[in-house]
Structure 1
Amino acid sequence: MAASGRNHDSSGRFAQMLRAAAHGSAIRSTADESSSPIDRRRVYRQRGQSRLRTSLRAAFAALLCASLVLGAAACGSANDASSSGDATKLSFMLDWTPNTNHIGLYVAQKLGYFKDAGVNLTILPTAQAGAETSVENGVANVGFTTLSNVAAFNAQGAKLRFVFDLTQKPVAQWCALASRKDIVTPKDLSGKTFVSFGSAEQNAVVRQMIKHAGGTGEFKTATAGTNTFATLSSGKGDFGGFYATWEGVESKLNGPALNCFEAADWGVPGNPDQLGFAVNASWLNDSAHQATLRHFLAAAAKGYDYALANPQKASDILVAQTKESQLDPKLVRASMDTIIDRNYWTTAKDAKRVTGATDFDAAQQYLDFQNNAGTYASDKDKAKAKDGTSGTPGQAPQASKLATNDYLS
């Protein structure tokens, strides 16, 4: 789950937390900030694809529906047919390959929590266009994303609403190989090559960290391939974004060793990594949909609570329920241990229940930071800023309008 711009992935930046990638590493200066702010964490064929600013257009919907109907039939995971009965059907699209960010969904499905709540859930694999676009166009009812991605999409005209915040503290890290003795603090990243997924949001975070540490804030970028570790090891890049709960764990288990920095320690305010669930705000106009969402979120939270209380059993369920992904059981179990040890999902040490609630203050601090960095500006606004006719950012996206806690139990 290489951190892509804190969707993570992530994501937002990094993405969940990511995208999928063209091989090769086209290097450019960060002076060319033409990349889209949207950070979708993708893998497989998506990683490294250029962001599609037109992905929100309604014309895409028909094509998405056609492809996903087939894909869901082949790859989707649903409640047992015998258990569906009169339950309300609901579809959920992942943002990436199955991982511990999604573990509560698979646990709730396996243990019958959704069935008990009257919800017949189908879990859809991530689509090439992304969970956000699929939810916007009605292909999926709910999708895994980040609050920062919701802000970026809504700045382009989408009407997404963030309804469940799984991660309560930043999970992204910015790392170089531990063998790079020339990189000790973010200041040493000045002039180096950042292995990225083309996210303006990511770039703003990295630039701030470097400046806060006393560096120039200038760096180059290389397009990440399917494996950021390999890109760094090959010498095509100097540092990249990772999730502490996945790649960070993988590094400790299998190498290579990493030297990592966390954005909060280097001048980036708020929580860049609010990973969770979003719906189309228009979908919520129906009171029946509101009731279904409440039931779904309660059952999903119960699944995540089970994972906190029974991390090894939950890990085994995730591995068994996603055999096509061939997850490493040791990685999944170690990831859950890290999530619990570092209190990523809860607000209190040793808590056994997820809150699911969005911290609006932390969210707004980060949105203000990204807005001041120009992340949400349109191409027209960026052109004005470049030619000197305008350099003042508009109002930042408002967390209170992007997210709601009204549907939590």
Structure 2
Amino acid sequence: MRKLGTMLGTLLLVSALLIMTACGQKEGTTSQTASNGSTPALKDVQVVLDWTPNTNHTGLYVAQQMGYYKDAGLNVEIIQPGQSGADTLVASGKVPFGISYQESVTQARVQGVPLVSIAAIIQHNTSGFAAPVDRGIKTPKDMEGKSYGAWGSPVEEAVMKSIMDTDGGDVSKVKSVNIGDADYFTAVKKGIDFAWIYYGWTGIEAKLRGEPLDMLYVKDYSPSLDYYTPVITTNEQQIQKDPELVKAFMSATAKGYEYAIANPDKAADILIKAVPDLDPKLVKASQEWLSPRYQDDASQWGLQKEQVWKGYADWMYKQKLLEQPLDASKAFTNEFLPAPQTSK
């Protein structure tokens, strides 16, 4: 769904000076002139993706194509991050909204970067370690003596150690090999036994390819690893400067994801039409799998819990992946989610 390594690498490039100087230099929106006196002007807004378009983003495209953003007074452009990265663009105020991950926002907050998560796109972590079935990795201990396709982040070994410890495994017996930009399918054909993937995209693709895999979801081995990934972000200044814009954007976006939850096939068609380069079969199958997982057991789509933010941050701090503890209460907000539907 996107290269997992990008979730941490981008933030290391963000300095406090960049944030202080860039914030306020460019408004996240510009007003269009109404075409006639009776038509209200739409406000131009950009939202930057974390990676190439996929079913994590379906709700955005639905809200755009179904006119939900227009109904909210917005003209929303969905853009890709380029070399700067979504977190940098949002934290600096160059783009008001973006797609990120709890792990990235956590590191950003501890570094003084003012990112704020305003919705969880998927309620539970769908990532894990995947291996072709012929590698015999059925439990974490089975990773011993195997080659892992790594991207070079300290979080990888920490997560691997955490889940291997539950099964009596020894992480030092895993051979980590940096695979660079190679994807899962290329890596496992070139000597790699397993890699960290999102099942909702890569796992579904493996199934469609007829290449069955064994999947060890990290959340199944530690509650602390059941974090929100991905999330929708903005920055503190945007919230202070124009909370009504944040509210309008989130109201329409929530409608988009609620539509995708109720209508996975139609939502997939909207994504396919908006991004014709995507494989229609993969989008359809992925959307069918992912739609019920957007909200899952939460009372409404997008809802976030402080205990989830604190649990993962405390785990990161214990693993020495954070320089100091996170103030979890400031890392996210449910303030801009629409009021839950009482008729549900």
Q: State the TM bucket, normalised to the shorter chain.
A: 0.7 to 0.9
Instruction: State the SS of the aligned residue for 1:269.
Output: helix
RMSD: 2.8
Paired residue secondary structure (1:179): helix
CA distance in 2, matches of 1:82, 1:209: 58
Letter in 1 for 2:160: V
How far apart are the structure 2 equivalents of 1:168 and 1:148? 14
TM-score between both structures, scaled by the size of structure 1: 0.74
Whether 1:209 and 2:163 are equivalent positions in the alignment is yes
> Which residue does the alignment assign to 1:376?
322
Aligned to 2:289: 338
The aligned amino acid for 1:313 is: K
Report which stretch shifted further, 114-123 or 186-195. 186-195
- Structure 1 counterpart of 2:50, from 95, 98, 110: 95
Give the match for residue 402 of structure 1: 331
For residue 327 of structure 1, what is the aligned residue in structure 2?
A: 278
Counterpart of 2:15 in structure 1 is 56
Q: Identify if the C-alpha distance between structure 1 residues 399 and 61 changes in structure 2 by more than 3 Å, giving closer, same or farther.
A: closer
Matched with 2:98 is 143
Mapping 1:22-101, distance limit 5 Å: 39-40=7-8, 53-56=12-15, 58-59=17-18, 86-101=41-56
What is residue 363 of structure 1 aligned with on the other side? 309
Paired with 2:306 and 2:228, the residues of 1 have a C-alpha distance of 13
Q: 1:404 to 1:61 in 2, by over 3 A?
A: closer
Change in CA separation of 1:277 and 1:87 when aligned onto 2, cut-off 3 Å: same
User: What per-residue deviation string (whole Å, max 9, x for no partner) do you get for residues 132-179 of structure 1?
Assistant: 011111221111001221011122221111111111111102111111
Q: How does 1:7-406 map to 2 (within 5 A)?
A: 14=4, 18-19=5-6, 39-40=7-8, 53-56=12-15, 58-59=17-18, 86-181=41-136, 183-218=137-172, 219-224=174-179, 225-235=181-191, 237-267=192-222, 269-286=224-241, 289-323=242-276, 326-340=277-291, 343-348=292-297, 354-377=300-323, 394=324, 396-406=325-335
Q: Which runs of 5+ in 2 are unaligned?
A: 23-31, 339-344
Where structure 1 has 5 or more consecutive residues not aligned to the other structure, the ranges are 3-8, 20-38, 41-49, 64-78, 378-393
Indicate if the aligned counterparts of 1:190 and 1:210 stay in contact, CA closer than 8 A: no
Report Cα offsets for 1:2-54 as digits up to 9, x if no partner: 5xxxxxx5xxxx3xxx53xxxxxxxxxxxxxxxxxxx25xxxxxxxxx65723
CA distance in 1 between counterparts of 2:331 and 2:210 reads: 38
Q: 1:167 to 1:141 in 2, by over 3 A?
A: same
Q: CA deviation at 1:85?
A: 5.4
Q: How many residues were matched structurally?
A: 328
Answer whether contact 1:61 1:139 (CA < 8 A) is retained: no
CA offsets per residue over residues 380-403 of structure 1, 9 Å max, x none?
xxxxxxxxxxxxxx4x21321100
Letter in 2 for 1:121: V
Question: Scaled by the length of structure 2, what TM-score is found?
Answer: 0.87
- Could you tell me how far 1:370 is from its partner in structure 2? 1.4
Cα distance change of structure 1 residues 238 and 51 upon mapping to structure 2, 3 Å threshold? farther
Q: Quote the Cα distance in structure 2 between the aligned partners of 1:281 and 1:61.
A: 12
Summarize the Cα distance change of 1:201–1:273 in structure 2 as closer, same or farther, 3 Å threshold. Answer: farther
Distance in 2 separating the partners of 1:51 and 1:313: 34
Change (3 A) 1:60 1:152: closer
Does the Cα contact within 8 Å between 1:147 and 1:403 map onto a contact in 2?
A: no
Deviation at 1:327, TM superposition (A): 0.6
Q: Is the 8 A contact 1:166 1:354 kept in 2?
A: no
Residues of 1 paired with 2:162 and 2:245: CA distance?
Answer: 41
Distance (Å, rounded) in 2 between the aligned partners of 1:133 and 1:335: 29
Greater than 6 Å deviation, 4+ residue runs:
60-63, 81-84
Alpha-carbon distance in structure 2 between the residues aligned to 1:233 and 1:153: 35
Preserved contact between residue 218 and residue 225 of structure 2 (Cα < 8 Å): no
Q: Contact between 1:173 and 1:241, CA under 8 Å: does it hold in 2?
A: yes
Q: Distance in 2 between matches of 1:118 and 1:265?
A: 42
- Alignment-mate amino acid for residue 335 of structure 2: D
Distance 1:262 1:96 in 2: 22
Q: 1:381 maps to which residue?
A: none
Equivalent-residue separation in structure 2 for 1:200 and 1:359 (angstroms): 26
Q: Residue deviations 1:79-105, cap 9 Å, x none?
A: 9x9899512221100001000111011
Instruction: Give the superposition deviation at 1:319.
Output: 1.0
Counterpart of 1:273, as a letter, is Y
Q: Does structure 2 retain, via aligned residues, the 8 Å contact 1:56–1:136?
A: no
Distance 1:301 1:196 in 2: 34
Does the Cα contact within 8 Å between 1:270 and 1:361 map onto a contact in 2? no
